[in-house]
Amino acid sequence: MSTARCVSRLLPLALMAAGVLPVMSVPAFAANTTTSAAVAPATLPRVLVLATGGTISGRASARSAIGYDAGAVTGAELIAGVPGVDRLARLRVEQIANIPSQNMNNAVWFRLAERIRQAFAHNEADAVVITHGTDTMEETAFFLDTVLDTPHPVVLTGAMRPGTAISADGPANMYEAVKVATAPQTAGRGVLVVMDDVIHAARWVSKTHTTALQTFLSRNAGPVGFVDPASVRFVTPAQQSGHLGLPADHKLPRVEIIYAHADMDGRQIDDAIRAGARGLVVAGMGDGNVSDDALSALDRAVRAGIVVVRSTRVGDGFVNRDVEVDDDQHGLVASLDLNPAKARILLQLLLADGTTAAADIQRTFAAGH
Ligand code: SIN
């Protein structure tokens, strides 16, 4: 694209960000799908961008000086504000949802998984980039990594600051996500998260800070690579995780997360049993520990046929079997590296797949190592 055309495309967004131009005067895009094929050479890789909302699609609100609404800008508007991205790839943008990711749910997950499977099966795209809120990005990444079986790159990205903020991080993250997705060395690495110049594997990545740009860490393993304007560098060998089928009925069983704390009784656990949970994940203290009263309630859950996984509310480290808690005796599963949110997803998918024996579930939790 010529510099003049690039500037003329970006100017309205810059003015909108500065509050000079009302948002509505941004040039209109097709309702759900936009393609940059008209300006990008046909030799460039094809990237399907699936937009779901989040802060990367956020816009300032009047509620406070720093207030904003996530999921207010479309994926197409977002792409139009990323200088040079159409020199990396032919982009086709589809709006899968436009929500703050606190509202992410199974329906959107299944829509994403089915659309990605279809796009690769029908050779519609070489890679997929998903724009997503950061709050549940690690959960969506882990879900997709567990159910998708493809060597094609699938990369999630987002932003900690809305596009209207000073030093918005969304455009750079978006550019780098497309750069990683189109790098030949990205193939066969499962689902990745690209944020703030760092490439993370879905299994290990976690949001660790409420507001900082450097919020994503892969605490027990470290990042798998780095990206900058010039390069995409992986520092670990390519590794894909084992895959579980996507439940055909698009339903996941109820699995509750129980947060452990001092002076804990068994009431939350008994409530979850009564509410019909098929599984429980305990965000335990330290190495996945709970009080004696809570452990007795977990015994009641196991006797009722509920699968119980011990994870931890601590951000770092592994929850190992049979340390302070006798998992063998109580019939429990140790989550190892999986944090409570990811342990919940893996347990849901296993239960949906008909796996209910604690020993079999433990084997799958260990299979990611
Ligand atoms: C969200 O997750 O949608 C809000 C926070 C963010 O995207 O950074």
**What pLDDT is recorded for position 63?**
86
Q: pLDDT tens across 294-314, in order?
A: 999 999 999 999 999 999 999
* Cα separation, 289 vs 282, whole angstroms: 9
- Catalytic status, residue 55: yes
**140 Cα to the center of ligand 1, angstroms:** 13
Structural tokens at position 171? 């455009």
Cβ–Cβ under 8 Å, residues 77 and 15: no
Query: Where do we find the tokens 């882990």?
Result: 142
**Mean pLDDT across the chain:** 89
Three-state helix/strand/coil letters over 90-117:
EEEEEEEEEECHHHCCHHHHHHHHHHHH
**What pLDDT is recorded for position 101?**
97
**What pLDDT is recorded for position 36?**
54
Element (H, E) at 137: helix 137-147
Q: Would the CB of 137 count as within 6 Å of ligand 1?
A: no
User: Is 0.85 surpassed by the pTM of this model?
Assistant: yes
**What pLDDT is recorded for position 66?**
84
* Cα separation, 162 vs 72, whole angstroms: 10
Catalytic choice (34, 52, 55, 364): 55
Per cent of the chain over pLDDT 90 is 80
**55 Cα to the center of ligand 1, angstroms:** 5
Q: Would the CB of 173 count as within 6 Å of ligand 1?
A: no
Cβ–Cβ under 8 Å, residues 293 and 258: no
Q: pLDDT tens across 118-129, in order?
A: 999 999 999 999
* Cα separation, 149 vs 278, whole angstroms: 26
* Cα separation, 262 vs 190, whole angstroms: 39
Question: Is 255 strand, coil or helix?
Answer: strand
pLDDT at 197 over 90: yes
Higher local confidence (pLDDT), 364 or 368: 364
**214 Cα to the center of ligand 1, angstroms:** 14
Q: pLDDT tens across 138-164, in order?
A: 999 999 999 999 999 999 999 999 988
